[in-house]
Amino acid sequence: MDIVVGMAHSKRIPTDGGQNFRHNVFASLSSGGLPSAPANPPTDSAPDSVAKTAKKNRGRVDILRVKAGRGGKTVTVVKNFIGIGLPEKEQLAKAMQKACGTGGTVKGGQIEIQGDKREEVARILIEADFRPVFAGG
C-alpha cells in the first residue's frame, strides 16, 4: 500500500504570471459620460509671467541701523517705500515684529523695529517682493 503524503494531491500555483496576472482591470471601463479634455491645455503663458515679474520688484527700500537720538538703543529703520500706503506699512511692521520677536512702529512713513534685526527684516521684505538694500552702518 502506497501512502502519498505532501504535494502530490495539492494544486500548484503557477509562478510564470499565468492568466490572472494578465487580466486588465481597466479594460471594461468606458469614457462615456466624462467631459472631454480641453482643446488647448493651460500653459505658462506670457501674460501671467509678465504680471509675476512686474509684481516681483516693488522697488528698493533702505534698511538702516540707527542709534543716534534713541538713548543708546539700536533700532532698525526701513525707509524709502514707494507706492504703498499706511495700512500696508502697518501690516509689514506687524509681520516684522512677529518674526523678530520685538516691538516696532510706523512713524513718519518709516517702519522702526527695536534692535538690530536687519537680516530678519530683509527676509520679510524679500517675501513681500521688495528689494531691500542695507544702507548706513
Domains recognised in the chain with CATH numbers: 58-134 (3.30.780.10)
pLDDT of res. 50: 47
Report d(CA 65, CA 121) in Å as an integer.
11
How many Cα atoms within 13 Å fall on the side-chain side of residue 128?
21
Query: What pTM did the predictor assign?
Result: 0.58
Query: Could you state, in chain order, the average pLDDT of each consecutive group of 10 residues for the chain (137 residues)?
Result: 55 65 71 74 55 64 90 92 90 92 92 93 92 85
Q: Which triple of cell numbers denotes residue 132? A: 531691500
Report d(CA 15, CA 10) in Å as an integer.
15
